[in-house]
Every structure is written in structure tokens, then in C-alpha cells.
Structure 1
Amino acid sequence: MARALNKLSAKAVGSLVKQPGTHSDGGGLYLKVDGNGARWLFMFKRNGENRREMGLGGAVGANAVSLADARAAASDARDLLANGIDPIAERKRQGHRAAAVTFGEAALAHIERKRGGWKNAKHGQQWGNSLQQHGAKLWAIPVADVDTEAVLACLQPIWLKIPETASRVRQRIEAILDAAKALKLREGENPARLKGHLDHLLAKAKKSGAGHHAALPWQEVPAFLVDLRERKGMAPRALEFLILTAGRTGEVLGATWAEINLREQTWLVPAERMKAGVAHRVPLTDAAIQLLKSIRLEGAEPSDAVFPSQDLKRPMSNMALLQLLKRMNANDRTTAHGLRSSFRQWVQDNRPSDRDAAEAALAHQLGDDVERAYARSDLFARRIALMEGWSDFVEGVAGANVVQMRRA
């Protein structure tokens, strides 16, 4: 039975452009009205694919497409489908829209446009790395043709496995497609939108259960660090320092400037502040040194807390980090202590030969009393290389998980 056509009238359209909703004219032609305005869409399925949308132009404004013109465009699209031709691809080939720009090209251009506004120069690299790794299936597709099915092909494999990273990737895809639409490189709804769209198609991530400290998968720490660095205040800086040093919460929050040697790039935690009662020497990476220099107040005394509370007289409390994680909506996925586990799992999965150095970095006591009596070294040289590798990874440096031979 043929589908009814021409359900609407020009007069009806004049009223409907003010009424939110999706109004059918028949034959796949719809008038879509929402917060973004009123526009014509042609919706179709082809070869068992999910429904796709092809924009036909706005229904209001100086360049509005009339009902008659929208019907003509929809009719042309139906004819193409009847002949086995994808109307979106054909329109592109016929030159009725902007020259084909791939998603990858649109992504790199978007990163360049935004680069100057990011606080950290490495944000652009992190964007590019995450999209090339997890959005590789989109890279060569014309940005005009990216649809829900293509976005899901990227997100579904990682949505539950590494949800923090998957969420970041989705947000970045959405931003790139929004920018492409603003540049008139694509039309229609954004297939990467979460609310009211992908949230109906993707499973909800489960919360961490009871037991050990909740810990982020190590793959998610770079995205977490990006979010952290965009937040102001002393608590985010303390948690960032904890990530870069793999220190315990109490060790970080109790640190004083007397323990920090910026020139030698070391942090010496005295024995009385260590869990095992043994002084602990921590190598500080360039990123950690940069952080410390950015927060040190002029005239700071050696006895002053590195991460003071608001009154500047006392160290920050553990509660400050807990509240920070709640504000980041991350308290059900990790604790501050759990980030040490993220570091340890990264070592296990990427640098297993550095097991002993990792245990030393975490200030864990290895072996029995006799074994420790003979193991005089704190593996400091090896820990320098290890923490540099960890810092490179969390900051999104390409190739950071490649195990390289370094001289001690």
C-alpha cells in the first residue's frame, strides 16, 4: 500500500513552524521543529540500515525552503533510493553541497581552531590521539555522512570497558560534528548527542562495587587529568600532584616546601610521615615541577604546606579531595588512593619488567626482613624513567606506552 503524500499545506506549515515536534508530510518528508528552529528533513532506510536523515534546508527565514521545494527534493531522493542510490552520497557527488571533507580533516581543523583557547598545549594532542585511536572508523568518512550507526561503531566497544574515555570521545565527536554543521559541511541532527538519543542506545555504566578502593582503569586517567586541569583551586592541584607522583593522600596533603627540592627535582618525605616509617625519595617529573612552581606563593616558608587549606595555615584535609571527586562525578569510579592502583595496573600491563621499581615508587615494602636488608637500593634511577613514562602517558604523549630502554 502506497504511503500517503502531501499531508501538509502551506498554511499548516505556517502554524507548525511554531509548534515543537516532527510533522510528517508523507513519503519520508518531515518538518522538524525544536530549539534549533524549523527545518525540512528527508528520512529514509536503505539496505537494512538504521534510519538516516538528510537535511533539505530551513523552513523559516530569508533563505527558507518552501513546502513545494522540499517536496520536490524529497521526490528526487525517493527516485534515487528506488534506483539503489544513496541520496546523501549522490547530492555530495553532484556538487549541491560543500566539497567532501572527511571527519578526520574536520577533527584536525577543529583542534587547530580551539588550540589557542586551551590552558594546556597538550589538550590538542590528547584530542587528536583519542579520536585517532577510538574514532578511527570515522576518520575517512565524509563528515557530512557521519550517522548514528557510525558513531556507535566507535563507542560501543569502549562504552563499558573504559567509560571515562568513551564519554570524552563522544563529547569530542559531538563537538566536531556541531562545528561542521556551523560551517555548513553537514546538515541534520547530531548523531553523537547523548541526551534523548545515544542514551537510548548505549548501556548505562555500572557503579563500582564494595571491596577495594575504587580505581579508574589506567586507560581513563589521561581524560580524567584533562578534566582535572580545567578546574581551579588547590584541591585539583593536589590530586594532580598525587597522580604524577603516585603518592599516598596523606603524604601529598602533608607535604611542606622543606621536603621539595625544585632544582634536583626530588621530594623527600621524612620517615615520620611514611606508613612504613622509612624516608621516601620521590622523583619529580617536569610536569610535577611545573605544577609546584605554579602554586608556590611568593615568600613561602620551608615549613608552609605545599597544598594549604583556605586559611593558608593548615594543610588541606582529605575531605577536600573527596568533595572534588564528587564535583567531577567521579567519586563512584575512583578514590584518590585508587589512582595509585591505576598507576600500578598501568605498569603491570605496559612495563611489567618495572615491577620492582613500581613497588618502590609506591613505597611498598618488598620481601621479608632478610631480603630487604640486602636490597639497599631504592631503585631511584629506574624510578625516574618509570615516572617519566607515566607522566608522558597521562599527559597524552604519543607512544608513551612503548617500552623503551633507558640508561639508569
Structure 2
Amino acid sequence: MARLAFKLSARKVETLKEKGRYSDGAGLYLRIADGGRRSWVFRYLRPSGGQTELGFGPAKGAGKDGLTLADARLRAEEARALLRRGIDPATERKAAETAGQTFGEFADSYLESIRAGFKGKNAVADWKRDLEVRCKPLRPKALADIATNDVLAVLSPIWLTIPRTARETRSRIERVLSAARAKGLRSGENPALWRGNLKELLPKAPKSKRHHKAAPYEDVPGIVRELRTKHSGADTAVNLAAEYIILTAVRTGEARFMRAREINFDDKLWTIPAERMKTEDHPEGRPHEVPLCARAIAILRAVMPKGLDPDAYVFAGQWSKDHTKPLGHNAVLHALKSVYPAITTHGCRSSFRDWAGDETHFPREVAEMALAHKVGDEVEQAYRRGTALKKRRELMEAWDRYVESEANVIQLRAQQ
């Protein structure tokens, strides 16, 4: 083998001071940067194509510690040996550095890298719960060592008891391991893959649709009447918030986190930002416009102080006089249950939907759009450009008239 044309000497390396790049031959360079920073770099052509360079670390100089010329030449020869075998030295180094990385370490860094893309307020918390609690047996294991049986050990105990959570956990494990493979930290098939893998090993989980307790719509006017009676006696915003949610048929979270800037009093319209909408039901990336009836407007004016900051919450927490904190998570639910125990806040939406179907002639799709549900298949959604705002406004005003007129005369029915 021909001897490499070494161009530098140990003495020259220690005495060079001028900023620049000095070649020793065969891809090895001494680099001197601003401030006299000295380092060794190896330039080479990758097996996959394209020229790049690999840093070897600081270079020894006058009075400075670092790699000597001999050390740098030895590392350069090791890199050339890898290249002769078709291996990229940079890839090999990265694999060596991360060979012992655990599932827990990588999962935490992966979650941090994707959290900016989450829309829901609780998405990060849900991911952390699954990756830290559900996946606790996986966390100390090296990424490269995780097999199907390891994933089964996490999923099997919860697969039939909490199937929805189990499915979400499996999906998140699959994403973490797919990302690890993309970064070269794993090889082979993903052990959390569903089709052709876990699907054949786990029992079929029953799909149960959760039904929220709802009051018959005939009882809603009585519920509203009781809420108003409680408010007149205690003057608490939570009772008005509960009535507002009933009148607008929105989800509790959408009302709790409503900010003053979302309300247009002139147009009698509330625009909920897309990121606060439930994405599996609502068309992705689209805000939801809620037409406001006269009573809903009156409630907003009652709870919003004059000159309220545009970013302030409309329905403030009990001790938040400056409206910088929203109502508590269960505050509205407790207000409703105090007058009608057999109900949930989500059940109010069911009461509205039953009333619209039984007592009005509004088309089904108008009622569904009022609830911010997707209407039709993907093709129909693609061609449905409008939001039927005018028709939805007529529907919500009819709902207001029903609740308002009956609330003035109907007492709450005795409950079983």
C-alpha cells in the first residue's frame, strides 16, 4: 500500500497560529478558527453520495491540550477503513453514541420534539401519562432490545379493561419506535405494529360507546329556571355559565376557555378557534362559529366587566376577579347536578339534539353542524364550503324561545 503523503509535522501543528485550514493529506485537516480555536476535521465522500466532514476534536497546540498529529492520523485511518467497507464514519459514530439509549430517554426527547404540533390542551399530558406510567416497564430497556413480548406486557393488562386507553398507548409506542428507527437507533420490524403483528396476538376488545347522562329536553326549561333562581340568590357566574352552555349547545371546555376577543356583539357571533375544537368530530383546522341568541348575549354582558382585556376569560374562576383564570374543571357540572343530579354537561348537547330532531323541521345536517360535528363523508365535507350559519342561527333562536317560554311556566319535574 502506498504511503500517505503526510504534509504536516508535529512541530508545525503546534506552532501554526494563522486562521485557516491546513491539509495533512487524505482528507485530514487542521482547522484554526477565530480566537485561535484549533480542531481536527476529516473530509470525505459519503458512501451514499455527497461530501461531508467529521470532527475529531480539539488539536494540541502551544500550551493547549488536545489531539496530537499522530492521534488525528490514527482516527483518520480508522475512518478510511470504515469507508473501504462502505460504512459512513459519521453514522457509525452516532450509532455507537446512542447504542445504549433507553426507551424512556428517547420517548421523552421525542415528545418534546413533536409537542408544538399538538392542538388539544390535554394532548401533552395524555402522552406523558402513557409514556411515563403505562410504558413504565419499557422505559429502562434499550431501544434496540425492545421486542413484541415487551409491548404485549404493557398492553395485555389493560387491553380489555380500558380498551380506548390501550389503543392510544399502543399507537404512541409505535410512533416512538418508528422515530427511533428513522434515526438509526433500531432496525427490523416495529414490535408495536398492529396489522400482521399485535392484531393476531391480542383479543378483540369490545367497542362500547359511552353515553353521557342527559335530561329529557322537556326538563331543560325547568333546569334553566332553577339555575336562574340559584343565581339570583347567590350571584355566581357558574350558574350563568351552565345556562349559556345549554343555550349554545357547546362543550364545557369550549365555554370555560372562551376569551373576550372571541365575541362579536355586533354580529351576535362567537368564534371558537380551531385549536380548541374536538378534532375527531369537527373539520380539522377550521374555527367554529356559534350564533348567539338574545339570552346568550345578555349572559355575556352580565359576566363581562366593562373594559375587559381581550385575552381575559369570559367566565372567570371563583377567585379570579381579573378574569385571568377560567372556571374550574368541574364547576359547571356541580352547578347542573345541584339542580338535576342525573345529568352531565355533555348530556345537555344530547337534550338539544333530541329536541331539534323531535320538535323542529330543521334538516339533520343543520343540527349536527350546530354541535360542531362533521357532516357526511370526506367527499361531502370537501364540497361543503358553507357552515349554514343563517340556518343554524334560526335553529338556536328557536331553541332559545323554547327554553325561555317554558322556563317561565314549567317547574322542574320530580326525578326518579
Q: Which has the larger radius of gyration?
A: 2
Same fold (TM over 0.5): no
TM-score by length of 2: 0.43
